Chain A
Amino acid sequence: MSLLEIEKLSLKIGSQSVLKDIDLSIAPGEVLGLVGESGSGKSMTALAVMRLTPDYAQMKGRITFNGIDILGATEPQMCALRGDDIGMVFQEPMTALNPVKTIGEQVAEGIRWHTRASRAEAEERARKILDRVGLPEQKFALSRYPHELSGGQRQRVAIAIACALKPKLLIADEPTTALDVVLQAQILDLLKELVSESKMSLLFISHDLAVVTEMADRITILRQGAVMESGDTARTLSEATHPYTRQLALASTHVPARVRPHGDETGTENLLDVANVTRDYPGTRRSLFSRSEPVRAVDNVSLTMKPGASVALVGRSGCGKSTLARMILALDTPTSGAIKFRGMDIAGRSEAELRRPRRNMQVVFQDPYGSFDPRHTVERLVAEPLHLLERRPDRKERRDMVARALHEVGLNRSDMEKYPHEFSGGQRQRLSIARAIITRPKLVVADEPVSALDVSIRAQILDLFAELNQKLGVAYLFITHDLTVARAITDDVLVMHEGRIVERGKTSDVLSHPASEAAQALVSAAPDLHRAIARRLQEQG
């Protein structure tokens, strides 16, 4: 008998069909992974189970939970289920908690609501569950506010809220997507323990096949609102009989074909020389009269890059890698130390002096939606760096250069007249790359350039980076927390931890035999699809 049974669930918003005849079921104590790319309807399915879909969504079909008809239930009946028998954890820990209430209040609230316990009893239970999720009272008092906790800690609070009453079903919607790999591993372990401890069922939603494989007994693959395939996780993924499943699995582990390596012409001069760079930020003041302790974001970092090299800078979130990248791009100034680009010291120079180095180094950002001014056409956006050139191209030359850059990233000349919102995420990242290569730079700094993309798109963009590396001889500095990206596209790797570079070497060496503690933590926490499938198959015998 299943705990949750979804039959022929369809959901429409206006005339748009978001879910089409979804079928899935979860047995008591089972973990079901729900996988799909953006827009596949995973989150909407979860919200439908909670009946928290938007008011204007129309639903058809049947959802049965523990013998209760969810779609036919009254709102008070649903309120009795939510938070008691069904708990839910959301993706974004930074915004999931009410900023003006203490964590104790927020955990105790659901307990009091459902059990009619007294304030003291509810607090006692809140204390216990917070302790269980790794926030012991000695260090994390119930009177703390969410903003006093880190993202990982906030996600623990959210899990405590969801699990406070030992629900029969826990729904986790991309619970670790906003966290770095090390935190992700910790949260996944916590979820696994909680599920087996109290024999909960878990509906685990993720875009990441490797993560789902680690978590789920069975898997359901969604695409554009419809179920593609369902079945035992290890078998479904290792056999990969369904073409879409195969495509997803291949894309997740994709490594671009590269002719190696450009960067070992030892004789040539260094492209980039970073020497003993430190960056301090003013910290928050404790009181009006005491001086603030500066926060050291980057601590005495040195590195060099050869022309045409492809280097990864990896580390956990907040380790200082983005700050370092900004200083290399002369968008931020080091507190001390020197940065030389093609022999010229770029720290603290005026914009006029920076024209020449800027022409030779460009940037690709993470967010394909935020990196374009929505009010400019593609022509104007891609041509933006052109004004760095010695001689301003005239209108026709400019259009030709934009067209060539677009062609090089696989877009058409006719795309020039369009606005950024007319492109998909992957296409926008191509636009971003076109803008970065239009001045024929020697160095492109890419800050998490594929982490906001779906796996199949990510594979294509990695291919494009690899291709341009060979064709144009451009050097890359890839900033990422995702080791599969580093492995796929770089020759050398620098591991950063708390502002310092703690390990460096060939990418393959460092990632297979990490020496430093920080690198070991990253490597062991990184989800890996092949490893996860192998482990599952082994467990099943």
Chain B
Amino acid sequence: MSGTVPGNPSTLGALAGRALTNRSFIIGLFITLVVAAMALVSFFWTPFDVTRLIVADRMQPPSSAHWFGTDHFGRDVLSMIMIGARNSIAVALVAVGIGMGVGVPLGCWAAARGGWIDEALMRFNDLIFAFPALLSAIMITAVFGPSAINAIIAIGIFNIPVFARVARAGALSIWPREYILAARAAGKGKARITVEHIIPNIANLLLVQGTIQFALGILAEAALSYVGLGTQPPMPSWGRMLFDAQTVMIVAPWLALFPGCAILLTVLGLNLLGDGISDIFDPRARRRP
């Protein structure tokens, strides 16, 4: 017979071996770790104090003292980018946490129960998908005023149906497998099967989606801060820095260059990491967009 034998999917050794030879994974992990380290260091130390405004030093081009130059208040751009990293990561991480924490149980529940519960969840998804994070943020801001919390809530809510869909689709593909039938024949209930068999087998999908949503969260936070609906000044944020840079772009282009590069690199790193993870778990094909 001509059936193909599925490759060895999951032992730690095999995964590690594939991880070490996967270029996307290595580069993505490296960039992600650098950004994360930058954010962590900013809690203890930054090259300059960003709360002190030194007008004499304003709008200096990059130099050995200020690697990335200074802004219109004389603040050091590198220091601001480090603190901005902290904000971006915090917002995106909490938003992914909200999405996963609510979406994954919902998706698994819908897949396990089926019927009207499943239908209701899918309609709920349709509803939330009609409110892109920016629209929710606009509404929330219109009501409660602008803040970083709004950004987190708006992005987090939009993440819920994303994770619910991924979890549901993954779980639905696992449920008809024979090993689930075998577990049922061994008397295991739906909740137990979900915890013991379903979630471990869709964990890689969730991990990959997690990195994608993390990256999208960083982009969304930057966009919201750019239009003034996210992190509020004087707290530095990448999006806000770009907004401030816009008016002086002709005289100080570096102010627009570095925060933009920071966003680009962070998102790129996370996307590469996600690609790498999905390659490592599924070496036969790259299925992900």
Contact = CB atoms under 8 A, between A and B. Distances in A.
A351 B191 CA distance: 12
A207 interface: yes
A421 interface: yes
B2 A38 contact: yes
A415 B171 CA distance: 29
A370 B187 contact: no
Contacts of B3: 38, 452
B178 A371 contact: yes
Which DSSP category, helix, strand, loop or mixed, fits chain A's interface?
A: loop
B1 A358 contact: no
Interface residues of A, number: 42
B181 A331 contact: yes
B130 interface: no
A366 B5 CA distance: 15
B9 A207 contact: no
Interface stretch (A119-127, A288-296, A384-392): A384-392
B142 interface: no
B177 interface: yes
B185 interface: yes
B6 A365 contact: no
A372 interface: yes
A421 B11 CA distance: 10
A369 B8 CA distance: 11
A351 B182 CA distance: 14
A365 B181 contact: yes
Contacts of B183: 373, 384
Interface in B164-216: 177-179, 181-189, 197, 200-201
A375 B174 CA distance: 13
B21 interface: no
Contacts of B200: 373, 375
A419 B2 contact: no
B178 A370 contact: yes
Nearest to B203: A375
Contacts of B197: 373
Contacts of B189: 351
B9 A363 contact: no
A371 B188 CA distance: 15
Contact of B10 (A174, A363, A375, A452): A375
A43 B187 contact: no
B197 to A, nearest CB: 5
A91 interface: yes
B185 A454 contact: no
Interface of A: 37-38, 42-43, 91, 173-174, 177, 207, 329, 331, 351, 354-355, 358-359, 361-363, 365-367, 369-375, 381, 384-385, 387-388, 419, 421-422, 425, 432, 435, 452, 454
Given A38-B1, A365-B178, A421-B8, 16 more contacts: A38-B2, A91-B2, A207-B1, A331-B184, A331-B185, A362-B185, A362-B186, A363-B185, A366-B178, A372-B182, A374-B10, A384-B182, A384-B183, A384-B186, A385-B185, A385-B187
Interface of B: 1-3, 5-11, 177-179, 181-189, 197, 200-201
8 contacts: A174-B2, A329-B185, A351-B187, A351-B189, A362-B186, A373-B197, A421-B6, A421-B7
